[in-house]
């Protein structure tokens, strides 16, 4: 058995209808946008125009189809690779680029890592580097919604490596005990940076880890948008009806590096990459649309050009936005700045003015 095949273990899968046929062109467009945006951001980091990036190539179907199955009122607790989720939620490209750059348009005011974006307006919680922390936050928010009788679910995203973290086990235990309306969405991309899935755990699947906490687990082919959509819709319906949480393991593959600080050629074989690349989720959905007559190769090339133009325009706007004002460092610590903070702010002001040498 190859390393790639070893990661494709089976478990109960969701039944029911797949994605609405009329939505498939829009879903493909979003997946393609995520792929092209991903490629552009990798290039921007290599050029020194953004400082850091975590790619998602290979995980577009798992993310876009999952987000498609949610409602705008649901709260998303991402890890740091969920660009596809952000696009479905409606976060504008310019907003994302502003956060990648950390300019004055960044709603986080340049205080996060370049790839740790978020938006309260879109119920997309800001990402954090420590793995697993978002899991317990999602459970806590679900408990609050439950007590307020707010008919929503929370969903949290993480990778295969995070299933070995303390917060994963604490989160599932609390969710199981309190029967929270939470969806745990594990994107098993087969590698926790350089550690392969088979060295991560002896569990037959990652989804089965929920059994000990009374949380049902489901394994789906994360390269199949229809399978992901079915699993998430079923989990959401179950949560809202009082059935409690669900752990979904979407078996995918990270086609790119873990981050722009990683070189996957040091630990992955070309044969493994070729096996998984043959299952490319973007090409898979494209093939379905071509076979059904909803897309032609000419249409696809035109769409790619349109999306590249859209990405380019958003990037141009973000790069033309001024840098963050250094004086904002004193904001948002307290609802009202203290006298001492005001004094320190005024002391810094001469050094933060344009042309002072302390401001770009």
Is residue 235 within 8 Å of 241, Cβ to Cβ? no
Predicted confidence at residue 7, as pLDDT, reads 46
Answer yes or no: 254 catalytic: yes
Q: Taking the CB of residue 347, how many other CB atoms lie within 10 A of it?
A: 9
Separation of alpha carbons 232 and 351, rounded Å: 52
Is residue 263 within 8 Å of 177, Cβ to Cβ? no
Separation of alpha carbons 91 and 107, rounded Å: 12
Separation of alpha carbons 235 and 248, rounded Å: 8
Is residue 288 within 8 Å of 24, Cβ to Cβ? yes
Strand order in the sheet with 75-77: 75-77, 154-159, 182-188, 246-251, 217-221
**Residue from 254, 291, 308, 349 carrying the catalytic annotation:** 254
Query: Model pTM?
Result: 0.92
Separation of alpha carbons 274 and 105, rounded Å: 40
Is residue 204 within 8 Å of 9, Cβ to Cβ? yes
Separation of alpha carbons 29 and 334, rounded Å: 42
> Reduced to 3 states, what is the DSSP secondary structure of residue 142?
helix
Predicted confidence at residue 351, as pLDDT, reads 86
**Residue from 46, 111, 267, 349 carrying the catalytic annotation:** 267
**Residue from 81, 197, 238, 258 carrying the catalytic annotation:** 258
Walking along the chain (360 residues) 10 residues at a time, the average pLDDT comes out as 45 64 97 98 96 96 98 97 97 97 93 91 94 97 97 97 96 98 97 93 95 97 97 97 97 96 95 95 97 97 98 98 92 92 94 62
Predicted confidence at residue 352, as pLDDT, reads 83
Q: Which residue has the tokens 């199981």?
A: 176
> Rg of the chain's alpha carbons, rounded to an integer?
21
Predicted confidence at residue 357, as pLDDT, reads 53
Is residue 251 within 8 Å of 8, Cβ to Cβ? yes
Separation of alpha carbons 284 and 270, rounded Å: 21
Structural domain boundaries in the chain: 3-319, 325-360
> In 3D, which of 120, 106, 112, 115 has the Cα closest to residue 324?
106
Is residue 133 within 8 Å of 80, Cβ to Cβ? no
Separation of alpha carbons 181 and 246, rounded Å: 8
Separation of alpha carbons 279 and 32, rounded Å: 15
Element (H, E) at 170: helix 166-178
Q: Taking the CB of residue 79, how many other CB atoms lie within 10 A of it?
A: 24
The CATH-assigned architecture of domain 3-319 is 3-Layer(aba) Sandwich (3.40)
Q: Taking the CB of residue 300, how many other CB atoms lie within 10 A of it?
A: 15
Q: Which residue has the tokens 């043959």?
A: 278
């Amino acid at each position: 058995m190859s390393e790639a095949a070893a990661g494709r273990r089976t478990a109960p899968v969701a039944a029911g209808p797949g994605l609405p046929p009329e939505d498939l062109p829009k879903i493909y467009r979003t997946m393609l946008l995520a792929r092209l945006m991903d490629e552009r951001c990798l290039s921007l980091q290599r050029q020194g125009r953004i400082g850091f990036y975590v790619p998602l190539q290979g995980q577009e179907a798992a993310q876009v189809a999952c987000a498609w199955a949610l409602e705008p009122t649901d709260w998303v607790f991402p890890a740091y690779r969920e660009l596809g989720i952000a696009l479905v939620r409606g976060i504008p490209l310019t907003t994302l680029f502003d956060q990648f750059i950390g300019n004055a348009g960044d709603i986080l005011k340049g205080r996060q890592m370049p790839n740790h974006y978020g938006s309260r307006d879109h119920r997309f919680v800001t990402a954090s580097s420590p793995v697993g922390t978002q899991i317990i936050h999602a459970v806590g928010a679900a408990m609050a919604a439950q007590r307020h009788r707010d008919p929503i679910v929370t969903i949290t995203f993480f990778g295969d490596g995070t299933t070995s973290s303390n917060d994963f086990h604490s989160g599932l235990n609390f969710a199981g005990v309190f029967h929270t309306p939470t969806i745990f969405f594990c994107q098993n991309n087969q590698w926790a940076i350089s550690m392969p899935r088979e060295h991560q755990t002896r569990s037959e699947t990652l989804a089965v880890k929920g059994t000990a906490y009374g949380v049902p687990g489901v394994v789906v082919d994360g390269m199949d948008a229809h399978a992901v959509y079915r699993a998430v819709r079923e989990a959401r319906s179950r949560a809202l009806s009082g059935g409690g949480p669900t752990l979904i393991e979407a078996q995918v593959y990270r086609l790119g590096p873990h981050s722009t600080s990683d070189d996957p050629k040091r630990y992955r074989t070309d044969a493994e990459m070729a096996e998984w690349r043959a299952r490319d989720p973007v090409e898979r959905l494209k093939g379905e649309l071509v076979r059904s007559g909803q897309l032609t190769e000419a249409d696809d090339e035109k769409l790619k050009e349109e999306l590249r133009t859209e990405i380019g325009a958003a990037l141009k706007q973000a790069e033309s936005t001024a840098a963050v004002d250094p004086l904002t460092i004193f904001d948002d610590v307290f609802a009202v700045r203290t006298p001492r903070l005001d004094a320190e702010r005024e002391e810094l002001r001469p050094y933060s003015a344009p042309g002072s040498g302390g401001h770009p």
